[in-house]
Amino acid sequence: MATPIADSDVLLVVDVQNDFCPSGQLPVPHGDDVVPIINRLARRFRHVVLTQDWHPAGHHSFASSHPGRRPFETVTLAYGRQILWPDHCVQGTPGAQFHNGLQIPHAALVLRKGFRPAIDSYSAFYENDRKTPTGLAGYLRERGLTRVFVAGLAFDFCVRYSAEDARREGFGVIVIEDACRGIDVDGSVAATRESFAALDVAGVTADAAG
């Protein structure tokens, strides 16, 4: 079933950065497969926002910041449970740059997240303390954008949290499933699908959008 794109729709392209692609520090399997799909998709949207994971060196979400801990272990930080990741998307490094095949010159906003040393930020709307806003909800409202199409990396983390928060903020939300790839830590892909079903977050294919 086709989903027509309206002028009040925005495409949110999540973290299509070198470190999340197969040669990067925190590779999402087949992560770079989304690049041509998202390029084609983006041409159908007047409004596009890109997010960029953007950590200072020594960020608290890095396993290397916790002596004796290894990537993908879980720790409790001030705001709750946090998976520890390999060092990735360090500000100003090649790994933090967008995949060089990404071609969305008309994107109006690059929203950087995860720049506070002690708080991770999966969602494009709220950091992982669930209290600190990124400002994106206000930006979208001020621009009259009411429905968010989400694509990018990783399906089960930053795409998931962004879609959930968009829904909670009252936006319509559609996830372009074939324009996402997951990393799947401890069943996180299945948990994401359950959450989307519970929150009434719709999923479509890229071909059906527009």
Q: What is the residue type of 144?
A: G
| Paired residues of 23 in beta bridges | none
Of 17-25, 32-40, 64-72, 110-118, the window that binds Zn ion (rule: CB under 5 A) is 110-118
**The binder of Zn ion chosen from 9, 32, 53, 164 (CB under 5 A):** 53
| Active-site residue, 89 included | no
> Rounded to the nearest whole angstrom, what is the least distance from the CB of residue 120 to Zn ion in the complex?
6
| The one segment of 2-10, 53-61, 63-71, 193-201 that binds Zn ion by CB under 5 A | 53-61
Annotated catalytic residue, options 89, 158, 165, 180: 158
Tell me the site size for Zn ion, rule CB under 5 A: 2
Per CB under 5 A, contacts with Zn ion among 127-186 are none
3-class SS letters over 159-171 = HHHHHHHHHHCCC
The answer to whether the CB of 150 falls within 8 A of the CB of 14 is yes
Catalytic annotation on 129?
no
Please identify, among the stretches 34-42, 63-71, 107-115, 200-208, the one whose residues bind Zn ion according to the rule CB under 5 A: 107-115
To 5 degrees, how large is the angle CA 108–CA 35–CA 20? Answer: 95
Q: Is 15 in the site for Zn ion (CB under 5 A)?
A: no
Cα→Cα distances 107→44, 45, 102, 117, 126, Å: 12, 9, 11, 27, 21
Q: Comparing C-alpha atoms, which of 22, 132, 134, 117 is closest to residue 61?
A: 117
**From 9, 15, 53, 165, active-site residue:** 15
* Catalytic residue (one of 113, 120, 165, 180): 113
Which helix (H) or strand (E) segment holds residue 130: the answer is none
CA distance 161 to 145: 19
- Token pair listed for 81: 């449970």
Nearer to Zn ion, 9 or 53 (CB): 53
Q: Which residue has its beta carbon closest to Zn ion?
A: 53
Residues with catalytic function: 15, 113, 158
Instruction: Give contact residues for Zn ion (rule: CB under 5 A).
Output: 53, 114
